[in-house]
Structure 1
């Protein structure tokens, strides 16, 4: 899957314009990079389109511990959207990630997140 298709799918799934889907994707990747270990972020970035991967790789290897509400709040702030749109965007990005990366890699990422992320 290339970056254009990734963004298009996020836009459709979140019911937002493609430009906003790009911002939601960037904000979600940046926040995911803060939440998972640096090693896992680098592995995931290695299987994503080059245009999507950079915000995912954090400057530090320390994963922060926070739940869905804080994740959505950070995405909302970074993308400049309300929390309802941010939640839809995060869900759309996660669903698209699940299709864009090999199953085992996506499961490795999800295993680092609390169970509440399964139902976002």
Structure 2
């Protein structure tokens, strides 16, 4: 999947007004995911995504400077996405599901299964609900 297609899918599925909002949603979600999973796992996932999108997984020092592999649950995951994307938390939860769904479709080889397995159950349930899941 190419960059424009990825962002277009996020924009359409999340019903965002424009590409800038879709870029911001993607960046917020993947940066937060990069903060939560190990650096190696983030690198493997990033390698399967378009370069500009994958780089968001490597920006782990953006939120508080703590780096990759932090331990936090669903509430903090959603809060960080909301903060970075400039949206309210219910929309951030929906955006997270959409971005993760598109990310899953853009990758292969079971990398998303490994990512999901590394997450706590409350975050895993959020990101595997798909774009039709509840907040």
* Same fold (TM > 0.5): yes
CA RMSD in angstroms, aligned pairs only: 1.5
Partner of 1:84: 90
Q: How does 1:71-110 map to 2 (within 5 A)?
A: 71-110=77-116
SS of the aligned residue for 1:81 comes to coil
Q: How does 1:52-63 map to 2 (within 5 A)?
A: 52-57=53-58, 58=60, 62-63=68-69
Matched length = 120
Partner of 1:119: 125
Partner of 1:21: 22
**Deviation of 1:118 (Å):** 3.5
Deviations 1:28-81 (A, max 9, x none): 111011000000001111111011011201357640111111111001001111
TM-score norm. by structure 2 comes to 0.82
Distance (whole Å) between structure 2 residues aligned to residue 28 and residue 62 of structure 1: 14
Higher helix share: 1
TM-score norm. by structure 1 comes to 0.92
**Deviation of 1:21 (Å):** 1.2
Over 6 Å off, 4+ runs: none
Contact 1:37–1:61 (Cα < 8 Å) also in 2 = no
